[in-house]
A = this chain, B = another copy of it.
Amino acid sequence: MTDCLSRKVLRQVRPLGHDGLADVLIDGDRIAALLPAGSAPAELPTLADGDGRLMLLPALVESHIHFDKTLWGAPWRPNSSGPTRNHRIANEQSVLADFELPLAERAAPLIEHCVARGSLHFRSHVDVQPAFGLARIQEMLALRERYAHLVDMQLVAFPQAGLLTAPGTAELMEHALALGLEVVGGIDPAGIDRDPVRHLEAVFELAARFGRGVDIHLHDGGELGRFEIERIADMTEAHGLAGQVVISHAYALGAFGAEQLHALADRLAQLGISIMSCAPSHYMAPPLALLRSRGVNVCSGSDNVRDTWSPMGNGDMLDRARLIAMRFGWSRDEQLADAFDIVTRGGAKALGLGERYGVAPGCEANLLLLPARSIAEAVVSCPLERTVIRHGRVVARGGALTEDARPG
Query: A-side interface residues toward B, CB under 8 Å?
Result: 75-76, 78-79, 280-283, 306, 310-312, 314, 322-323, 325-329, 331-333, 336, 372-374, 376-377, 380-381, 384
Contacts and interface: CB of A to CB of B under 8 A. Distances in A.
B312 A326 contact: yes
A373 B75 contact: yes
Contacts of A372: 76
A73 to B, nearest CB: 14
Contacts of A283: 329
Contact of A312 (B75, B311, B314, B380): B380
A381 B77 CA distance: 13
A79 B372 CA distance: 16
B281 A310 contact: no
9 closest A-B pairs by CB: A281-B281, A282-B329, A78-B333, A76-B377, A281-B327, A76-B373, A311-B380, A79-B331, A79-B332
A283 B76 CA distance: 32
A112 to B, nearest CB: 16
Contacts of A282: 326-329
Contacts of A310: 331
Contacts of A327: 281-282
A374 B76 contact: yes
Given A76-B373, A310-B331, A311-B331, 17 more contacts: A76-B376, A78-B332, A78-B333, A78-B374, A78-B376, A79-B331, A79-B333, A280-B326, A280-B329, A281-B323, A281-B327, A282-B326, A282-B327, A282-B329, A283-B329, A312-B322, A314-B380
A121 B151 CA distance: 44
18 contacts: A75-B373, A76-B372, A76-B374, A76-B376, A76-B377, A78-B332, A78-B374, A79-B332, A79-B333, A280-B326, A280-B329, A281-B327, A282-B326, A282-B329, A311-B380, A312-B326, A312-B331, A323-B326
